[in-house]
Chains A and B, each alone.
Chain A
């Protein structure tokens, strides 16, 4: 049996953490873009668009992420599309993230007083101009803390991608644990790395919340 030093364990886990970070970024950026698109659709107040986005959000919020990942991985295979774990995990997490972000952001837009819509409407601004110059600049202020906070959920959510064979932090941890027969030590290291990724972000979200609350 191969002997693993603590450094070997940590080094391999840190290398795997790269993929956790990459997958988180893909999910967050992809989810952000899709989420923004869905938000726009919903704000047009067209009944069909609203119903679609509503159903979308309910669907992805109402099914466990783990199951969504299984569906993305095996489901696409059924349609003859050859899915890599990368693609399935990226797509699954993007859809999941977009559903939550669009809902968070809708709340932020909803928090802008109706008078802001009415005043900009009275000044003959069209819908796009209202959003771009009046509503979104104010909504973004409110949205930053909960959005950054949700990034923590996404990072932890990537751990589930291990079940479809994606070699990220948790999956590599499991592999090393099997090899070293010391799962407690290995998963302690895994937990520490997750914590070191998430804790600063949580703190940052908190400080943003305080700062933006004081600011105008």
Chain B
């Protein structure tokens, strides 16, 4: 077996504690993913990535650093990866999706902080995640109060740059975000020692756009009935996209999408054609948070789309590739990123428009609007989502949950009742 212990030791990983994480992964992954029937063959790649989750990709990042490259750890879809790759750096999503890391975060954060923040802080402080140890710079943002304060704690551990994401979408806010991207370019240039030229930024814009197109193509296949891929598998693809090499991500997602398109032409699916089609909207589900999808799909319904940062918000909208100067390209970047509809904006009608549009595109029977526990923004916005969807006759249920399995049975009962209502 591949032995990564020397690599982890060199990274300062707490081997004993980390081993507990390694121990539970195979069984959980087997129970959630490998128990599924008729999975696409293209999922082989993603099964491999999970099997080597703290081995192969960290080794690639370490090699990149040995060659003089820098690694940027990110936590949000508002961070323009294009800037990092244009300077020869690598951006890797660091959001924590494991309950295993939560107690470590609770040592320094209030318990009533969302599990994503607690897990992210805990992964670093407990030294149980190679990705958190490898990153040269963390890139934070201002999309919620919990994160803003967490950056101050994490900055005691790792150099950290914060991108100020505006809270409204007026022209002056888009202009302000352009300024943030210009500042970020300077930070990235200083750390990497590489100048970001229009040619380099143009190439990076195309690189990330290609990844977005591939993920969109994959999601387009989910519009078919019967659906050719489970929601769990599609979610895993998106989760891995956050830290995989972008060119490889596009290649593998395109390969999988091609297989799904062939399945569609043959009328093959992973659920019967009459299975309920569900949209999950709300807060992100960072790897390895698969709880909700597992409950929904174990109850016989298919998750066909995620309106979330680990779903459509990650890849919808492309950056205009026609910019010839840094100023034009940064403007195009700002315009693209500011189209993303996060609950941190006020007002945020665009998100409700997105949910209504996606419900039609993916022909959903119902929507499960979920927020991570203590996420005040999405929890409050759920009222407005419910109100708006009632006007469109779209059935919706709201769920607040965390990473633990404590509420598993309660959620299962509620979701099964919701699905039963949809069947009537």
Partners in one complex: no
Query: Interface on A for B, CB 8 Å cutoff?
Result: none
